[in-house]
């Protein structure tokens, strides 16, 4: 089985979807490490409950983006990680990091790329932008990560309808339930299986 690291910053519902998919949808990979860039991320509790090793890497303790990325690489190497999944990891990684893992880093983004993506589009801001624009359909995308924010090759997408009266919060929840939590485990399985 391929060894998966999941990188998180917050609540970790996408991490939970991956944990819950282990042994069913996710058969060719095993989550062996969860790394957070925020010591208070609830995702760390989810990992601990599932018996998964955790690590916290803080940019401010590392001193610079370059040192932060070097520390991340060290932790991933120590754990012999094959595949990295960014699941609500709210920091941009530069080419110094992404070039080390070509087609080995996946990200889930809460819109249909190329809409509402790139620098500054994360979390609820993405859903606010979709509502402000007035689109009637949005969704989620899982893609490979390269040096361009949200610019790597698309692996999977799923559309979700916007409903009258939606707020960023109600839309976020629907996109997670109908798209992100379904797509991410499927995409992780596809990538792991192809590498086996």
> Would you please indicate which residues are annotated as catalytic (active-site) residues?
109
- Please pick, from the candidates 68, 97, 101, 122, the single residue that binds ligand GAR as defined by CB under 6 A: 122
With b for 16 or more beta-carbon neighbours within 10 A and e for fewer, the 43-61 pattern comes to bbebbeeeebebbebebee
Q: Does 108 bind ligand GAR (CB under 6 A)?
A: yes
Give CA–CA dist 65/67, Å, rounded.
6
Q: Angle CA(93)–CA(72)–CA(64) in degrees, nearest 5?
A: 65
Give 68 or 122: the residue with its C-beta nearer to ligand GAR: 122
Give 42 or 195: the residue with its C-beta nearer to ligand GAR: 42
CB of residue 168 vs ligand GAR: minimum separation in angstroms? Answer: 11
Q: Does 88 bind ligand GAR (CB under 6 A)?
A: yes
Q: Does 185 bind ligand GAR (CB under 6 A)?
A: no
Token pair 């801001």 in the structure block, residue? 125
Q: Does 11 bind ligand GAR (CB under 6 A)?
A: yes
Name the strand (E) or helix (H) holding 189: helix 181-195
User: For ligand GAR, which residue has the nearest CB?
Assistant: 88
CB of residue 123 vs ligand GAR: minimum separation in angstroms? Answer: 5
Q: How many other CB atoms are found less than 10 A from the CB of residue 87?
A: 24
Give CA–CA dist 95/144, Å, rounded.
13
Q: Name the site residues for ligand GAR (rule: CB under 6 A).
A: 10-14, 43, 87-88, 108-110, 122-123, 126, 176, 180
């Amino acid at each position: 089985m391929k060894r998966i690291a999941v990188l998180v910053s917050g609540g970790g519902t996408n991490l939970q979807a991956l944990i819950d998919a282990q042994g069913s949808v996710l058969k060719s990979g095993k989550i062996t490490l969860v790394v957070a860039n925020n010591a208070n991320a609830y995702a760390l509790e989810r990992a601990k409950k599932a018996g998964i090793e955790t690590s916290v890497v803080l940019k401010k303790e590392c001193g610079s983006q370059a040192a932060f990325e070097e520390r991340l690489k060290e932790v991933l190497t120590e754990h012999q990680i094959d595949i990295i999944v960014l699941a609500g990891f709210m920091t941009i990684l530069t080419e110094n990091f992404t070039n080390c893992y070509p087609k080995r880093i996946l990200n889930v983004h809460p819109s249909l790329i190329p809409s509402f993506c790139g620098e500054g589009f994360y979390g609820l801001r993405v859903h606010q932008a979709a509502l402000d624009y007035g689109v009637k359909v949005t969704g989620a995308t899982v893609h490979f990560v390269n040096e361009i924010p949200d610019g790597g090759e698309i692996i999977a997408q799923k559309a979700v309808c916007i409903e009258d009266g939606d707020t960023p919060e109600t839309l976020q929840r629907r996109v997670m339930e109908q798209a992100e939590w379904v797509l991410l485990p499927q995409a992780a399985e596809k990538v792991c299986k192809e590498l086996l």
